[in-house]
Homo-oligomer: A and B are copies of this chain.
Amino acid sequence: MTERPEAPELTNPRAERVRSVARLSGRSARQRQGRFLVEGHGPVTELLAAAAAPAPRVRVAVEVLYVGPEADPAYAAAARAARVPVRTASDEVLAAMADAVTPQPVLAVAAPVDVELSAVLADSPRTLAVLARVRDPGNAGTVVRAADASGADAVVLTTESVDVHAPKTVRSSAGSLFHVPVVVDVPYADVVRACRAAGLATLATAADAATDLDDLLDAAATGQGPLAAPHAWLLGNEAWGLPEADAALADARVAVPIHGSAESLNLAMAATVCLYASARARRAVRHHGGDTRRRSPAAGT
């Protein structure tokens, strides 16, 4: 009744094919091989769904799906629907290939598909999340997940940021990496310039800003202010935030309000609060009869 063979095809954890996949835990091997690891139920399921979709928001090129002896046959079925080859592998082989400490019964290898900032901006985005020199892979993945959940249009990682295809980033994005376009490796100043030229207000998060998110939400409730129009959140590094010179390039500096005695929120939490404020503002503008979609681009600079 099952189409899977009785014995796994791959049983030697020292085989070159296996070791080559295992090396994808490292950034240099990912760059050299031009492919990355996708591990576990959520990410693999979303990857295969994107690969099977006729017009996915995020285009992916999946090379192969490895399934363990105990894997749910639904994975192989999803792979077939996406025309992705399936190889069966022993648990030992899967453990050797995996980056995760607790290996999963499924693991895919995919090639990143570059998304250009110009293409994202040409698509009339209303909300972008820009990560400026963010270094922690878990934070970056969590922000991609928050961007997806909050309905943001894309995420941009500037140069000197973590590799968005690091295994931990892929895992912490929980599949959102295959829902939301992610642009990588654009210098920070170029991102700010391009956003402005495309008519997006640029909002730098800064703990000491005079304007806070409540002010912007109050304004958006009457269809006013930057949240009521297309905008990009500029989010700084987890340890040192946005340097003053970078924040100064933005149209506005905005604080996430701190109501208690905490010094701050961490990056992923602050990004989540900002991105949900954007969603709330888009809703307010819709109810207000407005339209947050850009109609005529500002003059380029």
> A interface vs B, CB < 8 Å?
42, 46, 57, 142, 145-152, 174-176, 179-180, 214, 217, 221, 256-266, 268-269, 272-273, 276, 279-280, 283
Contacts and interface: CB of A to CB of B under 8 A. Distances in A.
24 contacts: A46-B261, A142-B269, A145-B265, A145-B266, A146-B265, A146-B269, A148-B260, A148-B261, A149-B258, A149-B265, A151-B259, A174-B264, A174-B266, A175-B262, A179-B261, A179-B262, A180-B261, A214-B283, A217-B280, A265-B272, A268-B268, A268-B269, A269-B269, A269-B272
Given A174-B263, A260-B152, A262-B179, A214 B280 contact: yes
Contacts of A147: 260
A260 B180 contact: yes
A118 to B, nearest CB: 22
Contacts of A258: 149
Task: Please tell me how many copies of the chain the complex holds.
Answer: 2
Given A179-B260, A180-B261, A214-B280, 15 more contacts: A145-B265, A145-B266, A149-B269, A150-B260, A151-B260, A152-B260, A174-B263, A174-B266, A175-B262, A175-B263, A176-B261, A176-B262, A180-B260, A221-B221, A273-B273
Contacts of A175: 262-263
A258 B179 CA distance: 13
Contacts of A256: 149
Given A142-B269, A273-B272, A276-B273, A259 B214 contact: no
Given A272-B272, A276-B276, A262 B217 contact: no
A156 B282 CA distance: 34
A262 B214 contact: no
A174 B145 CA distance: 23
Nearest to A42: B263
Contacts of A276: 273, 276
A225 to B, nearest CB: 16
A272 B271 CA distance: 11
